[in-house]
A and B are shown apart, each in its own frame.
Chain A
């Protein structure tokens, strides 16, 4: 392609990327390095229906001057990134110095909100992604072997979990695993323990959320693999059959290698998606047991006092996390590109 043609061809995409990807990232990075001004506090008399008393409040006139002269706030550099709500370097160093065993160190790390969220986010990402790929592959193979008249209906059914809004899906499962819900009751009957409660146990809550994650995203993998199966060359399958390959061998040596590029694609998309997991934490009311990076951002913005800088810092760290997760693939793409030149 000529450079000129390429330029006009790429311009709309480039503008959209600049507007919707680059600018927001610049804005969020800026915001994470600035914090609100020091508040000028004064003690005044406040009166309400229950009487009058002396209380502390913000001196609006003094604060307004500060805000008007520097609307961005005060520059704090990386302070917000390093505080206890984020990377917590002082606390981590302290834990490293004073912990006697590795177990002690890790449990103290788990007490810091960012690392606790990171632990669950990574567990969720790396458990969900392979399981949903395997499940999606199994559904695709099963559906592909159905008769034509059944296919439409079964495909529709298999896609349902993906079309249900994530929050609603997690709420449905949340009510089912309630200690008075249908699944919760069943599980405590199976375990013969009337006090067993999924919502009161951290490991069980993690498992419930991961099961939800696989349930919700497997249809995506299924659709992609099913489409891939339609391009499977029949002569290769026939050749394998003539060679006497069993059903399993056909899948292992012909079908899966054919679908491998799609597996990489699904893995990439799902690694990114799962790293940003958010809805089930709200849907499952799970914050006592499991938090994620996205949930921390939501929580910082949802309190009575909004913490924009803290939320921005966590957002930047999430972007970095996604970049690190995808880096092996990015590096490989870069090498391929170099190789071609």
Chain B
């Protein structure tokens, strides 16, 4: 078995080297994007191309710089790696170009479901899928005598049992940091309860609803089992709590699951007990309380045709099927031809199979997300009622949407 793997890896390397020679570009390529292992792989793959300079700027703050860096003419960045939430900002500002002509010329290897089509035009090429799902400690759940939860109600019951038995003080983990993370957890729960953020076909907010109140109450109930600092914990801090063995149940990003227990100093029982399952449902609903995401790349509008073509060629090269190997396959749920799901991918696959709602790709969703992030923390601290918090969200969103010309 080992020999077979080795031979396979060798063959892959050979393939990679041949492909290396195949990627010739004739102009500058400059990529801006988020920073996690899968995207770093894409960035370094693109840099294998020869004939033009390929530079990358991969940072967690990519959203603060990509629009500005693509608005000039010529644009500083020839490509932005984005997700279904962040493509909206680029679309709103009209800084990315349709890719149909380039696909006809260079994109034969791309699968149809990789092409992000907006109003009939391909605006991005997706390379991976992502979702938040359950990550748990099998050993702790076994000790407590509970099954891996399928619903948030089960999660609460399991957390209560673990706490009552004295196994852990704060068995539930959650990226509830005020701001983007807290808003995202609300979105998950709200969609799980069957809520929808806006009136159909309009920018009018509808979060102050029964589903909204229920979602907040569930989040409050979960937070009782979290580290008291939860309003300052983002995904990184929540993962650190899990690694330290303080957390038994959490809703976590699939893209972070592969490397969760590989850090230095993780206790052996955490490594052995590490387990993944699909996202949970809530309130008797059938749609999971989670959102589906894709990550993909775009090509800037304000660059020369030569640069656009070079960018397209380099990034198509970066996501070619034979870039998948032992090392890169577990990093993400790739949408690339020939990808075999690893055991780290079960959570995201389960999310897709259970028809989880994709994160809304609406021009005004970013403003709603910001308003949720700013206004929900008072409720989580017990300073105001759920109805008041949601009314504040709608008021804050409405002010912002009026300013941006959506209402």
Residues of A within 8 A of B (CB): 35-39, 41-50, 52, 55-58, 60, 63-64, 74, 76, 79-80, 83-85, 91, 111, 113, 178-179, 195, 197, 199-200, 202, 284-289, 299, 301-307, 309-310
Contacts and interface: CB of A to CB of B under 8 A. Distances in A.
A36 B405 contact: yes
Given A49-B129, A288-B232, 16 more contacts: A36-B403, A37-B405, A41-B203, A42-B119, A49-B114, A57-B119, A79-B403, A197-B229, A200-B230, A288-B380, A299-B370, A301-B64, A304-B86, A304-B89, A306-B89, A310-B400
Interface of B: 63-64, 67, 84-86, 88-89, 91-92, 94, 113-120, 126, 129, 177-179, 201-203, 227-232, 234, 292, 294, 335, 352, 358, 360-367, 369-370, 374, 377-378, 380-381, 384, 388, 392, 395-396, 398-400, 402-406
Nearest to B400: A307
Contacts of A76: 403
A290 B231 CA distance: 12
Most buried by A among B91, B129, B404: B404
Nearest to B84: A48
B85 A49 contact: no
Contact of B404 (A45, A46, A64, A305): A305
Most buried by B among A35, A56, A179: A56
Contacts of B396: 84-85, 113
Contacts of B179: 287, 299
Nearest to B351: A50
B377 A287 contact: yes
Sorted from nearest, which 6 A-B pairs have the closest CB atoms? A304-B366, A305-B366, A44-B119, A288-B377, A288-B178, A285-B232
A58 B90 CA distance: 11
A304 B88 contact: yes
B63 A57 contact: no
Contacts of A289: 231
Contact of A57 (B118, B369, B380): B118
Contact of B363 (A57, A79, A287, A303): A57
A303 B401 CA distance: 13
A316 to B, nearest CB: 15
Most buried by B among A76, A91, A305: A305
A79 B230 CA distance: 36
B334 to A, nearest CB: 11
Given A57-B119, A83-B402, A49 B228 contact: no
16 contacts: A36-B403, A37-B405, A48-B116, A49-B114, A57-B362, A58-B92, A179-B228, A199-B228, A199-B231, A200-B229, A202-B381, A285-B231, A287-B179, A304-B63, A304-B370, A305-B92
